[in-house]
Structure formats: structure tokens, C-alpha cells
A and B are shown apart, each in its own frame.
Chain A
Amino acid sequence: MSERENKTENGSMESVGEGTAGEEKDDKGLGLGVIFFIVAFVACFLSGTLLFPKLLYSKKEQPFNFDHALHVGEAGDCETCHSFREDGSFTGIPKLATCLDCHSEEVLGETEDEAVFVEEYVLEEKEVPWYVYSRQPDNVFFSHAAHTQTAGMDCVTCHGHIGESTSLKPYEENRITGYSRDIWGKNIFGIKKNSWDRMKMDDCAACHKEETGHKGYCFQCHK
């Protein structure tokens, strides 16, 4: 951002400089032009950074709130609910049956959300239609076992501190691709501060390059 602004400032300085060399009449028109350019640039820039993400992503609320911190406190760790199957594949978001290992038709806590969960899903025997923030496109294969079991990585490295959160953020869906915003990342410029800020192919490749010396062949992660 600052780079671009510097450029326009330099640009306007040059043109002002050229203007003073000529007659004074031209100077006024040129000054107005410069002002117009700056105003238009700022308007475009602001609409691009503030309005565009709102246009690009639609917000969807989860069926009801889920308190990760509370559940981690009760269950102990991530793997209790987000477990592996016997064949090494990853279950991802737990099914209702997993919830019912602890929950029953009786409400355990005091929150409204649990009442919704029991009434609308447990009693109806319906799966909760969670939106998955980290859902990758259809053609991506990802082995959780390779990363957490073999390479010993933490969940946090890719998923961030979701285990410490008390509420679920709204799910933002890209209107063009249908993918979750967490794939591109919150920052519209794609600027990344933490390892869990983005989940693009480049992020996988960069880490693979660093850790294994090779970013991998296409079929390693595609199907």
C-alpha cells in the first residue's frame, strides 16, 4: 500500500515540476488533475480493499455456536473428537454419534446452543450441517496421518488456535469458487503472518520445500 502511494506522490511531484516549467494557466488545470487523480485513486483503493471482500465473500452463520475451549477442557485434546479411523484416514468434523459418546438427550450445560443441539439434532437424529472452514477443493488429497503422526506436527501449525476459541466465526464462502475464505486467508492481499493464516497450495509447497527439500510431485497431494 505504502509503495503504491509513494509512487503516486512521486508521479504527482514530477508532473507539478513539469507544470511550473510551462505557463501559469496550465498549472491550475494540472493541479486539479492531480487532485482528481489522488481522490479517484483513494476511492478505488478503498473500494477495492473494503468493498471487494464483502462482494466476493458471502457470510454464513454456523447452525449453532460451538465452544472449542470448553470442549477441549472436558475432553482433553483435539484427537478425542477429531480422530483417525482404523485405516489411517481422518474423520475431520465429528459425526453426531461421536458427540453422543458424552452428550445425551439431557442437556448437560446451560447454554442455549446446547439446547438447540439437543432439540434440533439429537432428538431428530440429524447430523449437524457444519460449514467446514478448512475444506479443500475436491481434487486435493491430504493425509493427516503423514503430518501429525509421522512428521509430528501440531494441529495449530495449520489450523491455528481454534481450540482456544469460545465461539465460531461466521463461515465466509467465496462466491466465485465456493471455497472457504480460510483457504485464501483473511488478508485480501494474501499477506501471511502466521503459518495458519492461509491454506493455499503455495503454503503446502513452501513448507514441503523447507522440510523435505522438494515441494513434491503433483500426485502427492492431488487426486
Chain B
Amino acid sequence: MKQNNNKAHKFGMVIDLDKCTGCGSCMVSCMSENNVPFKEDESNKKDSITWMRVYKLTNGKSFPDTEIAYLPRPCQHCGGKGDHGHSPCVSVCPAVATDYGYDTGIVSQIYTRCFGCRYCMGACPYHARYFNWWDPKWPEGMENYLSPDVSPRMRGVVEKCSFCYHRYQAAKDTAYYEGRDDIEEHEYQTACATACPAGAIVFGDLNNPAHQVHQIVKPDPHPDPRNKHIVGKSRNPKVFRLLERLGTNPKVYYLSEREWVRKQGDNYLDGEWDKIKNYHGASSHD
């Protein structure tokens, strides 16, 4: 039987922080695409659910040197140490409610399997996971606008960004129907990538050199010689990942021309940044 024998994908994202205006379109499109519940009163942000969240960065200088940047943060879909699929959240889940898809590189979350222990939330270094403290309540009539392609969540389970996996399923469905082996780059794009008015979010297959995301990131096929757990480091010196030195190997990359923005991707000791800033992102290979 012919199926599941395609070359493995590694879906990833690169976000240009110099293009991002912080408008929040990605957050809105994500919420409506994925039936993300909201509270009657959203002023308490501590228990808000935001699969995609835009953080504000500042260089900490006073006028007139103040600079602002915005950092959208979806689930980073970590490959874990050595990119073997041992993501921080997947490793700790006692219910196998979250697993690593070796065919796509996407970290799943199965709501009916989750029993809400929240180990994964503790393990995630990116605060990408959210707990449902209440059953979702939709204003009357709004239930008709929910997406039938994404199952709604109930009280007591954890949820997170899925890289709009249902869009991948739909694209594959079309490909199967048309007798194609694989999907095209434009057929599978996340809601945030399509909604971004600045075109700051680029999504695609990091394993496919024809995809734009691969051309921007230029992922290093070799492990980092300084830390063999780090795989897929960008060979573009302007590209970085969040908390890259942890070895979580996120599939979300960030791009910025500004050095102070790149420095915000991790915590550095005094003087540490200057030693590695040129190395950071760039590989010693080639």
C-alpha cells in the first residue's frame, strides 16, 4: 500500500522582527482559526489563552535612543536535544497526550488524552502552553463561526499552537485526491503567516531547499561543534532562535538586522554576548 513513504518534512517558521509592527493580526487570526476560547473579562492576562503571543522588546535606552521591537511567539515545536524528538514537553507528559511527529516535526496536543497535570507547561521554556481553567463559553450565535476542522477544548486540559495542522491535513487530502505524492509550499500555510500584513512570518519546510523558509534560515545540516545537542542552527548571521543554547532546537527562527534585538533571544552574562555575537547563528563550518 502506497502511503506514509514520503520524505520527512520539517515544518518551521522564520519571523522577521524588523518587519513586525506588533499589530496583532497573527494573534487574532490564530484565535479565530483555532477556536481559541476567551474569557468574559480578558483584563487578567495571567490566565488568558494566546497560542500566538506578541511580546514587546525594548533596548532599554532613554529618549532619543529608545528602540522598540515586537516578537510574536507561537509554539516553537522543539526537536529536543540533538533534534531527536525529545521536546521538553513531550518528554514529561505522563499521558502521551503530546507527541513528536517525525514525519512533520510538529509537536501535537491531543486534548481528549490530556488530563491536565500541566507538567508540560512547567517544562516548556517558552510559555507556549496554556491551561483551560474553564469550559469555553461562546457568545450566543458565535458557535456557528467555529472552525469544524479544529476540535474545541474542554476545562482541565492544556492547549497550544499546532502550526495549524488541520491545514496540513486538508492540503494532504487534496493531494491524495489529485493523486499527488506531496503538497506544494503554498498549500500549507499557517493562519498567522497568511494574516501578517507585513509579510513578516514565512512558513514552510526546513528540509526543502526550494522553500523560502529554508533559503532564509539556511539550516546547518551538521550539529553545532560547540554543543553537539544543537542541530539546525542557522547559517544566516542575522537569524537566531529563542534560548538557543538550551538545545531545545526550536523550529521557529527569528530574523533581525539589529544586534540588540538578537541579543534578546537569550540571557547573557556580562561580556558574554561580545564573545559569541559573531558566532551566534553563524556556523564555523563553511
CB of A87 within 8 A of CB of B177, answer: yes
CB of A219 within 8 A of CB of B165, answer: yes
Known: A146-B3, A218-B98. 5 other contacts (CB 8 A): A87-B174, A89-B173, A149-B177, A151-B1, A211-B3
* Closest Cβ neighbor of B98 among chain A residues: A218
Contacts of A189 in B (CB 8 A): none
Give the interface centre of A89, A138, A149, A150 by most chain B CB atoms within 10 Å.
A150
Contact with A along B180-195 (1 / 0, CB 8 A): 0000000000000000
CB of A219 within 8 A of CB of B101, answer: yes
A98 CB within 8 Å of chain B:
no
In angstroms, how far is the closest chain B Cβ from the Cβ of A29? 48
CB of A214 within 8 A of CB of B2, answer: no
| Alpha-carbon gap, A219 to B162, bound state (A) | 9
B170 CB within 8 Å of chain A:
yes
| Alpha-carbon gap, A188 to B174, bound state (A) | 37
Contacts of A84 in B (CB 8 A): 177
* Closest Cβ neighbor of B174 among chain A residues: A88
| Alpha-carbon gap, A211 to B2, bound state (A) | 9
Contacts of A151 in B (CB 8 A): 1-3
A-B contact pairs, 24 of them (CB 8 A): A88-B177, A88-B178, A89-B173, A139-B110, A139-B112, A141-B149, A143-B169, A143-B176, A146-B176, A151-B1, A151-B3, A152-B1, A212-B3, A212-B5, A214-B4, A216-B4, A217-B99, A217-B100, A218-B98, A218-B101, A219-B99, A219-B104, A219-B165, A222-B110
Contacts of A218 in B (CB 8 A): 96, 98-99, 101, 108, 110, 113
* Closest Cβ neighbor of B150 among chain A residues: A223
B102 CB within 8 Å of chain A:
yes
A220 CB within 8 Å of chain B:
yes
Q: Knowing A219-B108, A219-B162, A222-B108 touch, does A139 contact B151 (C-beta < 8 A)?
A: yes
Contact with B along A123-145 (1 / 0, CB 8 A): 00000000000000111010101
B124 CB within 8 Å of chain A:
no
CB of B99 within 8 A of CB of A223, answer: no
Q: Knowing A217-B102, A218-B99 touch, does A87 contact B108 (C-beta < 8 A)?
A: no
| Alpha-carbon gap, A145 to B177, bound state (A) | 5
B27 CB within 8 Å of chain A:
no
| Alpha-carbon gap, A152 to B169, bound state (A) | 19
A interface with B by C-beta (< 8 Å): 84, 87-89, 137-139, 141, 143, 145-146, 149-152, 211-212, 214, 216-220, 222-223
Contacts of B162 in A (CB 8 A): 219
**Chain A contact residues, majority secondary structure:** loop
| Alpha-carbon gap, A223 to B106, bound state (A) | 13
In angstroms, how far is the closest chain A Cβ from the Cβ of B81? 20
Contact with A along B77-88 (1 / 0, CB 8 A): 000000000000
B179 CB within 8 Å of chain A:
yes
CB of B101 within 8 A of CB of A220, answer: yes
CB of B108 within 8 A of CB of A138, answer: no
| Alpha-carbon gap, A211 to B3, bound state (A) | 9
In angstroms, how far is the closest chain B Cβ from the Cβ of A3? 31
CB of A143 within 8 A of CB of B1, answer: no
B172 in complex: contacting residue of A139, A146, A152, A211, CB < 8 Å:
A146
CB of B173 within 8 A of CB of A145, answer: yes
B103 CB within 8 Å of chain A:
yes
Contacts of B177 in A (CB 8 A): 84, 87-88, 145, 149
Contacts of B101 in A (CB 8 A): 217-220
CB of A219 within 8 A of CB of B106, answer: yes
Contacts of A139 in B (CB 8 A): 110-112, 151
CB of B1 within 8 A of CB of A212, answer: yes
B237 CB within 8 Å of chain A:
no
* Closest Cβ neighbor of B149 among chain A residues: A223
* Closest Cβ neighbor of A90 among chain B residues: B173
CB of A217 within 8 A of CB of B176, answer: no
| Alpha-carbon gap, A120 to B38, bound state (A) | 41
B197 CB within 8 Å of chain A:
no
Contacts of B10 in A (CB 8 A): none
| Alpha-carbon gap, A87 to B177, bound state (A) | 8
| Alpha-carbon gap, A216 to B166, bound state (A) | 16
CB of A149 within 8 A of CB of B179, answer: yes
CB of A150 within 8 A of CB of B2, answer: yes
* Closest Cβ neighbor of B103 among chain A residues: A217
Q: Knowing A139-B111, A219-B104 touch, does A146 contact B173 (C-beta < 8 A)?
A: yes
| Alpha-carbon gap, A167 to B257, bound state (A) | 69
| Alpha-carbon gap, A55 to B149, bound state (A) | 33
